[in-house]
């Protein structure tokens, strides 16, 4: 059996799993990025490209969900002007005299893990594009990590204050020159700006490595290895519909054997497959959430169907709940699916009429919208998701079949690390 991890973040210096690109110079990144980085590039047109010829066109809403859901590890932006504090104006602001559509720029700035800006050293008017204070509207305020020009690389060292000068937001921080192009000195680069810019003591020459190697595989030899870093106290998404279909049985056993404790499990059910006959071969016992509950690893469940439909055959979770050993957050099934989808799309909260005026609404904020009562529900995120798929490739792309489509597909984007198990070929 092989285990594939679709969105585990690699410890790489330049690119991680998803690199979002602005239009212009950033679009050249896939052609020069070493393949062994294993990055997926989100193009300005919404295409998700792995840099080696495989592209997946996304809808505008899906591309937006990738950005707002916190799945972008690095954004590379075209900027038209940057100041010494590390703030920047978008490229289009220069061409349109300061009035330009923000597009995805503000989304990327707000949600990407790191932000790199690229710009020419000198503008069309012959003056430096790095200025003491921006003269164009601020698009990147306090979120720029690195600035790359034709002949230099500048790191942004941030400080804990910000101010508004001349109508433009200026954050605390300063540029430090860390790399220079071959044949250039630090003095040559800073002279282009006409300003005194600090130079890092570790200043080095830019390196231009040719593309090489193959993208990394995300296949692990076994379940225990794949979840070896699943910690105590983690929130874990575990699919489960009515019977055992769609559940990652092998990964559940691996988690039981690992022994991680004080877990919060999020699932449609909380271990009823073992006590119902639906989908279970005769003479066999289903492997479900019960293996974790009876091993004392579960502290809380967030679920829609946490109890057995048979009074005479209670589930392990139901028995533990009666004994006061576990907590329960009951969620309507449709609301659970939407909370998972929202979590993966970066929607932190939403209003729904489902559950208004019932026990579900107790303790929750509510408001009247167009004459109807709505309650506030929060998106769900987790450290890990343990799911099952019908097919997977070595890059973590998945195909679901049957009941595995119910919750696996919305759990995967909402987890920091997704581990998927299935039958080996």
What is the per-residue burial (b if ≥16 Cβ within 10 Å, else e) of 10-40?
eebeebbbbbbbbbbbbbebbeebbbebbbb
Does 274 reside within a domain?
Answer: yes
The reply to whether 312 and 270 lie within a common domain is yes
The reply to whether 330 and 188 lie within a common domain is no
The reply to whether 170 and 292 lie within a common domain is no
The reply to whether 115 and 184 lie within a common domain is yes
Domain that holds residue 72: 3-205
The reply to whether 159 and 186 lie within a common domain is yes
The reply to whether 200 and 268 lie within a common domain is no
pLDDT for the residue numbered 12: 30
Does 160 reside within a domain?
Answer: yes
pLDDT for the residue numbered 10: 32
Does 210 reside within a domain?
Answer: no
> From CA 241, how far away is CA 129, in angstroms rounded?
57
Instruction: Return the CATH number at 231.
Output: 3.40.1080.10
Does 213 reside within a domain?
Answer: no
The reply to whether 161 and 27 lie within a common domain is yes
Of 205, 228, 254, the one marking the end of a domain is 205
Does 127 reside within a domain?
Answer: yes
Of 183, 205, 227, the one marking the end of a domain is 205
CB distance 129 to 151 below 8 Å: no
> From CA 61, how far away is CA 288, in angstroms rounded?
34
DSSP 349: E
pLDDT for the residue numbered 393: 82
For tokens 């055992």, name the residue.
244
pLDDT for the residue numbered 280: 73
pLDDT for the residue numbered 1: 35
What is the helix (H) or strand (E) element at residue 141, kind and residue range? none
pLDDT for the residue numbered 425: 41
What is the helix (H) or strand (E) element at residue 148, kind and residue range? strand 146-148
> From CA 69, how far away is CA 41, in angstroms rounded?
16
> From CA 15, how far away is CA 65, in angstroms rounded?
20
pLDDT for the residue numbered 128: 96
Does 212 reside within a domain?
Answer: no
CB distance 138 to 88 below 8 Å: yes
For 403, the 3-state DSSP assignment is: helix
The reply to whether 163 and 302 lie within a common domain is no
Of 165, 181, 205, the one marking the end of a domain is 205
The reply to whether 121 and 13 lie within a common domain is yes
> From CA 240, how far away is CA 251, in angstroms rounded?
13
CB distance 352 to 363 below 8 Å: no
Does 14 reside within a domain?
Answer: yes
pLDDT for the residue numbered 397: 82
pLDDT for the residue numbered 99: 64
Does 408 reside within a domain?
Answer: yes
CA 347 to chain centre: 12
The reply to whether 194 and 224 lie within a common domain is no
Number of domains into which the chain is organized: 2
DSSP 359: G
Alpha-carbon dihedral 87, 93, 98, 103, rounded to 10 degrees: -90
pLDDT for the residue numbered 104: 79
- Measured over the CA atoms of residue 267, residue 271, residue 272 and residue 278, the dihedral's sign is positive
What is the helix (H) or strand (E) element at residue 292, kind and residue range? helix 290-293
The reply to whether 15 and 146 lie within a common domain is yes
Contact partners, residue 325, CB within 8 Å, separation at least 6: 296
From the first residue on, what is the mean pLDDT of each consecutive set of 10 residues in the chain (425 residues)?
39 56 90 78 89 79 90 93 90 68 82 94 92 88 92 86 49 85 95 94 86 72 94 94 77 96 96 78 83 97 91 92 97 97 95 96 97 98 94 84 86 94 62
The reply to whether 314 and 360 lie within a common domain is yes
pLDDT for the residue numbered 15: 35
């Amino acid at each position: 059996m092989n285990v594939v991890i679709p969105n585990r973040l690699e410890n790489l210096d330049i690119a991680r799993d998803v690199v979002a690109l602005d239009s212009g110079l950033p679009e050249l990144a896939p052609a020069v990025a070493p393949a062994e980085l294993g990055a997926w590039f989100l193009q300005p047109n919404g295409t998700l490209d792995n840099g080696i010829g495989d592209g997946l066109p996304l809808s505008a809403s899906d591309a937006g969900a990738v950005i707002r859901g916190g799945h972008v590890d690095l954004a590379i932006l075209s900027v038209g002007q940057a100041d010494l504090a590390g703030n920047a104006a978008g490229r289009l602001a220069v061409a349109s005299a300061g009035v330009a559509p923000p597009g995805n720029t503000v989304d990327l700035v707000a949600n990407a893990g790191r932000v790199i800006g690229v710009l020419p050293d000198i503008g069309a008017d012959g003056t430096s594009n790095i200025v003491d204070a921006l003269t164009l509207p601020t698009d990147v305020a306090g979120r720029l990590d690195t600035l790359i020009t034709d002949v230099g690389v500048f790191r942004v060292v941030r400080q804990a204050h910000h101010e508004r000068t001349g109508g433009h937001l200026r954050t605390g921080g300063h540029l430090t020159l860390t790399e220079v192009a071959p044949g250039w000195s630090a003095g040559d680069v800073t002279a282009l700006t006409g300003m005194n810019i600090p130079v890092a003591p570790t200043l080095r020459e830019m390196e231009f490595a040719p593309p090489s190697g193959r993208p990394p595989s995300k296949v692990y030899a076994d379940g225990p290895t794949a979840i070896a870093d699943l910690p105590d106290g983690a929130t874990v998404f575990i699919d489960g519909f009515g019977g055992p279909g769609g559940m990652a049985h092998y990964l559940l056993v691996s988690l039981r054997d690992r022994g991680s404790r004080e877990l919060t499990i999020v699932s449609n059910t909380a271990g009823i497959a073992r006590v119902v006959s639906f989908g279970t071969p005769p003479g066999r016992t289903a492997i479900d959430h019960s293996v974790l509950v009876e091993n004392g690893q579960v502290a809380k469940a967030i679920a829609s169907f946490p109890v057995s439909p048979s009074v005479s055959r209670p589930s392990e979770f139901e028995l533990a709940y009666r004994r006061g050993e576990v907590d329960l957050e009951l969620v309507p099934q449709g609301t659970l699916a939407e909370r998972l989808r929202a979590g993966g799309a970066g929607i932190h909260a939403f209003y729904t009429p489902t559950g208004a005026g019932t026990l579900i609404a107790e303790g929750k904020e509510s408001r009247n919208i167009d004459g109807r009562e709505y309650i506030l529900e929060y998106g769900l995120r987790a450290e890990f998701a343990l799911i099952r798929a019908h097919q997977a490739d070595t890059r973590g792309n998945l195909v679901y079949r049957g009941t595995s489509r119910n919750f696996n597909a919305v759990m995967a984007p909402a987890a920091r690390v997704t581990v998927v198990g299935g039958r080996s070929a």
